[in-house]
Amino acid sequence: MQPLIVVNFKTYATAMGQKAVDLAQAMERASKDHVRMIAVVSAFDLHAVKQAAPSLEVWSQHLDPVGKGSFTGWLQPINAIERGAQGTIINHAEHKVDIEHVQQLMQQLPDEFPMCACAADVDEAHQLAELGPTFIAVEPPELIGGDISVTTADPAIVSETVNAVRAINPHVRVLCGAGVKDGKDVKTAVELGAHGVLLASGVTKASDVDAVLADLVAGLGN
């Protein structure tokens, strides 16, 4: 299976609107056959990004377990899919939800629609693994957006999460994030048992996006 490089655009000024399109096109250029590159974009940018980078996999940053009808302000899954979403993250440290939200959302999504549930620690990853999402991304909140990667600051949380999730559901794949910046971090994540990485500012705030993306991909070999 291809390892993942998942870039969360968040609502950074460098990754919204036309800049989201530019960043997605840079990711499309950097994509290689041995890597699964994924852009996680604002719901407002889903359609434009997918149109501009058609070969790039594009996910939503959040979805809500609601149908069509009287749900003002919620992110309706089928509408998101119609606008280009090919997957979603959920329960990010910056947008926490309860376990019932995750479970109900899974029940609404098509079977082949990937979901990455974010966990702050091994215990939360354990709880989420029992639901069986496609991926679980472990991200210690205190390291998110920082200069030190989780693979350096707390490698044990990566390996322990991998072991805990595998023990519950071996079909769930583990990603790691928080402070991931370069190819060395990606390589270390995979060596610790992760299936890839979830990162944001290391790409979205880079002065040379193409160079950073090339380095991340290089960390996964050929």
Q: Which of 92, 124, 160, 195 is catalytic?
A: 92
DSSP 107: H
Q: Does the active-site annotation cover 139?
A: yes
How far apart, in whole angstroms, are the C-alpha atoms of residue 4 and residue 114? 12
Q: Find out whether 2 and 192 touch, Cβ atoms under 8 Å.
A: no
B/e letters for 13-29, b = 16+ CB within 10 Å, e = fewer, are ebbbeeebbbbbbbbbe
Asked whether 150 and 159 are in contact (CB, 8 A), the reply is no
Q: DSSP of 151-178, one letter per residue?
A: HHH-HHHHHHHHHHHHHH-TTSEEEEES
How far apart are alpha carbons 184 and 13 in whole angstroms?
27
Q: At residue 137, what is the residue type?
A: A
How far is Cα of residue 193 from the mean position of the Cα atoms in its chain? Answer: 17
Element (H, E) at 190: helix 183-191
The one-letter amino acid at 31: S
| Residue 181 per-residue DSSP state | -
Q: Is 160 a catalytic residue?
A: no
Residue of 28, 124, 139, 160 marked active site: 139
* Catalytic (active-site) positions: 92, 139
